A = this chain, B = another copy of it.
Amino acid sequence: MNGKRATAFVPGHVTAFFSAHPAEDPAAAGSRGAGLTLSDGVDVTVEPTDDIGAFAAGGASATDASAAGDGPAAVGDDAIAPITLDGEPASIGAVADVLAALDVRARVELETDLPIGAGFGVSGAAALGTAFAANAVADRGRSENDLVRIAHAAEVERGTGLGDVVAQARGGIPIRLEPGAPGHGELDGVPAHARVEYVTFGELSTEEVLAGDTDALTEAGERALSRLRADPRLPTLMDASREFAERADLLVPEVAEAIEAADRAGDAEGGDAEREGGSAAMAMLGRTVFALGTGLSDAGYDPAVCHTHPAGARLVDGER
């Protein structure tokens, strides 16, 4: 090993419902709720660099950059934008924080088929994948719980997520019983897997929603979790998700329309057991609808198709 790069894969995660649980310690803060991890996810490649300017974006002086420039590698665009998302320069605070926490200076390449900012946990996946890949390539010797804790805390502190990281570390269909990173939180899961279809109509501002009436949201989230704990089946998860979106007043018109269309298409086909709770729901927080089986394509949409993912974040090459 002593490899020059390492890659981690982290599944996407759509949240079906949640309640927010702030805390002073970012490892203890988080959310309760449930969702689906997805075989569509994020590949995160970390490549260490000795170029100081490449790490401390915005913090590197000209002197630093020229001092590093006497190595064989020229200081080019990568030094200004050490994080790329599908080849384009990107700024993801939680990724920079994870690198800093592990004391790794590196270029981070993110590759994903998932829509950005639409409720798929891309920032959580980026933070968690960076933790796994940076630990491997720089041989930091952290345990999985440590890496999840670092990524979760970075997401919470940046305000970009509360529950995606712990769900994405676990895989499957995670139920977040208690909020927070390993050592604080507690997880369970729905023992199932499913074909998943999704359609996105655009972004939804997490900040805006969390600045609104969070009492109603929290009450609706806790109620949905109680329902799922009493009956940890997929149809109940979907039905609890729909009730949550209504009670928390989060449904946006395009999403509501798609959910209704999937319902009608399901009814027209007679419906099977999986549809009992409704086959489609809204991803929290995005203008996104996801459906089990063929709910959206039956309704005439042209959805992306994937599956629930059986495993959590993992190294895929270059690891120790």
Residues of A within 8 A of B (CB): 1-2, 132, 135-136, 139, 141-147, 171-172, 175, 182, 188-193, 229, 231-234, 272-274, 310-312, 314-315, 319-320
Contact = CB atoms under 8 A, between A and B. Distances in A.
14 contacts: A1-B272, A1-B274, A132-B191, A141-B233, A142-B191, A143-B175, A143-B232, A144-B190, A144-B232, A171-B311, A191-B315, A233-B320, A310-B311, A310-B314
A139 B274 CA distance: 12
Given A1-B272, A233-B320, A272-B1, A143 B192 contact: no
Closest 6 CB pairs of A and B: A311-B311, A144-B189, A143-B232, A310-B311, A310-B314, A145-B188
Contacts of A229: 143
A141 B172 contact: no
Contacts of A193: 314-315, 319
DSSP majority for the A interface?
loop
Contacts of A311: 171, 310-312
A189 B141 contact: no
Contacts of A142: 191, 232
Contact of A273 (B234, B315, B320): B320
Q: Which of A144, A171, A182, A234 is the most central at the interface, judged by chain B CB atoms within 10 Å of its CB?
A: A144
B314 A172 contact: yes
A193 B145 CA distance: 16
Nearest to A235: B320
A229 B145 CA distance: 11
A173 to B, nearest CB: 9
A186 to B, nearest CB: 8
